[in-house]
Amino acid sequence: MIPDAFSYIKPSNISEALDELSRGNAKIIAGGHSLVPAMKLRIARPGELIDITGIEELRQIREENGEIVIGAAATHHGIETNKLIRSNLSFFSEAAGEIGDVQVRNYGTIGGSLANADPGADWPALILATEGIIEVRGKKESRKIKATNFFTGFFETALGPDEMIISIRIPKPPAATKANYQKFHQPASRFAIVGCAVIRFPDGKTNIAFTGVADSAFRDKDAEREVSGKPITDMSISAALNAALKHVDIISDLYASEEYRKHLARVHLKRALQTVSS
């Protein structure tokens, strides 16, 4: 199909982008792999597209005040190959390399993925597991939103209509932190039918996050309690598997029934826990 008519602007800085966004009926575009198909189907009908790919600040990845700061327009490929990410968040690099195909990885962005909040997207689980902060900005104010408060429902977030994601801030993990992302992907799109991100800190604290399982990505606090601060053994892993997904409305669709998706989630949680325990 053909989208509705729209105007196009490519601002040179964040301020210009926010000025345009505040006028209403405008959408931010970077990679466009989610927005453009929605426009073709006329699910989305923006009057203006604001292309942020020319804003250098949004593409940077840097370390700042004990945080790894990833610009919203950083591409999946850029994250996969970045030395700072590889050194401190290697499972980000590994996960980025499993997203979509070469074209998607070269043009798709982390900010676009988070703003779209597809239930099967990879980045939400990874950002949740690492206790990331999503920095957003509107024309009048800036906000820092905890990942646990950002994803609010099916393709829904706490992002306001006149706000854009500026960066994602991840606390730099201490030495000896172990992390792993396990994914059962849909063969064509490579979205996660189930994705499980686990990070275990040197003090034993363990965070567990799922994507693809429910209407939005989430931290599984019940499963975390069974392994956090305790040795990871066959017994504690079994307890975590039994506790996992207890209070979750698991989705059922063309690719996996509720029962099968629950089974996959537990299998991939087990693999992730075994990996961070070794």
DSSP 167-192: EEEEEPPPTT-EEEEEEEE-TTT--E
pLDDT for residue 20 is more than 90: yes
Beta strands in the chain (DSSP E): 7-9, 26-29, 48-51, 61-64, 67-71, 133-137, 142-146, 151-153, 156-157, 164-171, 178-185, 192-200, 206-211, 218-219
**Stretch 193-203: mean pLDDT:** 98
User: For 51, phi and psi rounded to 5 degrees?
Assistant: -85, 115
Tally Cβ neighbours within 10 Å of residue 23: 12
List the domains of the chain with CATH numbers.
Answer: 7-51 (3.30.43.10), 56-171 (3.30.465.10), 178-277 (3.30.390.50)
Name the pTM for this structure: 0.96
The pLDDT, as a whole number, for residue 43 is: 86
- Each residue's pLDDT tens digit, 132-145: 999 999 998 999 99
Non-local CB neighbours of 217 within 8 Å, separated by 6+ positions: 117, 119, 121, 124, 125, 128, 151, 209, 210, 211
Say yes or no to pLDDT of 63 above 80: yes
Report percent pLDDT > 90 for the chain.
90
Q: What distance in Å separates the CA atoms of residue 217 and residue 201, rounded to the nearest whole number? A: 21
